[in-house]
Amino acid sequence: MSSFESNDVDLICGYHIPLNGRATPIRMEDVPEMLARPDGLLWLHFNLASQRARHWLAAQDWLDEFVREVLLEGKDTRTRVESVDDGLLTVLSDIHYDLKYEPTDIGTLRLFVNARHIISCRRHPLKATDRLRRALDDGQKFDSTAELLADLVEYLADTLNNVSDKLAEEVDRTEDAILAERFHTGRSSLGQVRRMVVHLRRHVAPQRQALGRVTQAQIPWAGEDGMARMLNATGKLGDVLYDIEALQDRTKVLQDELSARMAEEQNRSLFVLSWVTVVFAPMTLISGVFGMNVAGLPGVSGHESAFWWVMALIVVSGIGMWFLVKPRR
C-alpha cells in the first residue's frame, strides 16, 4: 500500500471540513454520521478496486442513479463535466502516482460535487488528489466545495505542467542526439515522447474546454470566490495545454529533421556504393573475360607475360574510371 493511503482498502481518505476551519480526517465507520451532519463540507475519496467501496456507492440512494453509474463505470474514460440535480458530475484525467512517462500512466478521476459533498473515486493512485489530501492535512481551509474543486484542478494543472517540463527536457536531449547524428538513440526517445505528448493533449484539451464551460455557468452554491478560483485554475490548465501543443509541434519538426538526416545518410551510403561499383565495373569485366575457361583468348596462348598485361589493363581501367567519375561527383 502506498504511504499516502489510509488503512482502509475502500475509503482512501475522508475529511470533514468546517467552513473556514481545519479539516478532520474520518474513517469508513464515521461516514454515515458525517453524512447526517448539516454543518461543514465532506470529501470522501474511494478506491474503485475495492468491492466494498463499490457496494457502498451503489447503495447511496441520495445520489442520482446516473451519478452512481458514472462513478462506478470503469471503461468509459472520456472527460465529462455536466450538471446533475444540484451538483456537478465530473470525469477528469490525472497522472498516476508512480509515473513512468508512458501513455498508460494517465488515470481517471471521477467526482460528484454539490454544495456540501465531494465524492471522488479512482482505480490507481493519482497525484493531484494526493496533493489535495496533503493540503488538508497541513491545515488549508475552504469555504465551499467549489474552492476545494478549484484547488484540485489547480493541482492537476501543476502535475501536468511538471510532466510537460520533463518531456520538454527529453525533447532537448533528443534534439542534441539528432544533431550529433546518433539516429538510433534519437529515433527511440523521440517516438516515446511523441506518444506521451499526443496522449496528454488528447486528455487535457477536452478537460480545458469542459471546465471552461463550468466557469461560465451559474452555480448557486459556488460563490464568487469559488468561481474566481475555478477560473484561475482553468487558466492554468489552458497554459499547460498551450505548452503541450508547442511540444507536439516541436516533436513534429524533430521527426521531419530526423527523417531528412536519415535519408541524407542513406543517400550518402548509396552514393559511395554506386561510386565503388562504377570504378570496379571495368576491372570486373576484364577479370571475368580472362577468367573464362575457353580457347583462343588473345594474349594468353604461348605468352607467359599475358597475366601481367591483364593486371596492368585492370589497373589502368580502374584509374581511368576514377578520373572519369571524380569530376562528376
pLDDT digits 0-9 by tens, 233-273: 889 989 999 999 999 898 888 888 888 887 888 888 888 78
Mean pLDDT across the chain, nearest whole number?
Answer: 81
Predicted confidence at residue 155, as pLDDT, reads 92
CATH of region 11-261: 3.30.460.20
What integer is the mean pLDDT of 307-313? Answer: 67
**18 pLDDT higher than 60:** yes
Please list the residue range(s) of the chain that carry CATH number 1.20.58: 272-328
Q: How confident is the model at residue 83 (pLDDT cuts 50, 70, 90)?
A: confident
Please list the residue range(s) of the chain that carry CATH number 3.30.460.20: 11-261
Dihedral angle over CA of 233, 235, 237, 239, nearest 10: -140
Burial class of residue 305 in the structure, from the number of CB atoms within 10 Å of its CB (0-12 exposed, 13-18 middle, 19+ buried): exposed
Chain segment 87-146, per-residue pLDDT in tens: 889 899 888 877 666 656 788 899 999 989 999 999 888 989 999 999 999 988 888 898
Beta-ladder partners of 13: 45
Angle at 203 between CA 200 and CA 207, to 5 degrees: 130
Predicted confidence at residue 152, as pLDDT, reads 92
Alpha carbon distances (Å) from 312 to 103, 196, 283, 306? 65, 63, 10, 10
Instruction: Provide the sign of the torsion angle of the four alpha carbons 156, 157, 158, 164, taken in this order.
Output: positive
Gap between the Cα atoms of 215 and 311, Å rounded: 88
pTM to 2 decimal places: 0.76
| Residue 208 exposure: Cα atoms within 13 Å on the Cβ side | 18
Q: Which three cell numbers stand for residue 215?
A: 466557469
CATH of region 272-328: 1.20.58
Among the listed residues 215, 4, 17, 241, the one whose alpha carbon sits nearest the alpha carbon of residue 122: 4
The strand pair at 80-84 and 41-47 is best described as unpaired
Report which listed range, 41-45, 96-100, 283-287, 288-292, is most confident.
41-45
Chain segment 137-151, per-residue pLDDT in tens: 998 888 889 899 999
